């Protein structure tokens, strides 16, 4: 994932996704290794905490797949420490 940057993307449909994007302009974004965060704990301090801290204990994150997201509402840069957490986050319920 050389020229792609790690981003957190939200959609008008309420989705919160992490992945790697080469282009984040427009209402449609293609993410490599896209993961959906279905829930996160209060300790994440909102969805932007997922970009800053990564998914913390108690988060439910789906497995990665390449995906095209539509109706984008937010694109946030993800910190290097948060990327490590996203890439190591197993699904737990």
- Is residue 26 scored above 80 in pLDDT? yes
Report the 10 Å Cβ neighbour count for 11.
16
- Is residue 78 scored above 70 in pLDDT? yes
Percent of the chain with pLDDT over 70: 94
Show me where the domains of the chain are located.
5-87
Q: 36-70 pLDDT, tens per residue?
A: 999 999 999 999 999 999 999 999 999 999 999 99
Domain at 5-87, CATH class: mainly beta
For the full predicted model, state whether its pTM sits above 0.95: no
Residue 89 to residues 29, 39, 61, 74, 84, Cα–Cα distance (Å): 22, 13, 7, 22, 9
- Is residue 1 scored above 50 in pLDDT? no
pLDDT mean across residues, the chain = 93
- Is residue 92 scored above 70 in pLDDT? no
């Amino acid at each position: 994932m050389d020229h792609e940057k790690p981003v957190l993307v939200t959609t008008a449909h309420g989705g919160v996704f992490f992945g790697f994007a080469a282009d984040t302009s427009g209402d449609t974004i293609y993410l490599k290794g896209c993961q959906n965060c279905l829930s996160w704990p209060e300790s994440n301090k909102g969805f932007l905490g997922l970009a800053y801290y990564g998914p913390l204990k108690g988060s439910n994150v789906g497995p990665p797949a390449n995906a095209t997201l539509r109706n984008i509402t937010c694109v946030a840069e993800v910190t290097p420490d948060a990327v490590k957490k996203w890439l190591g986050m197993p699904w737990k319920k």
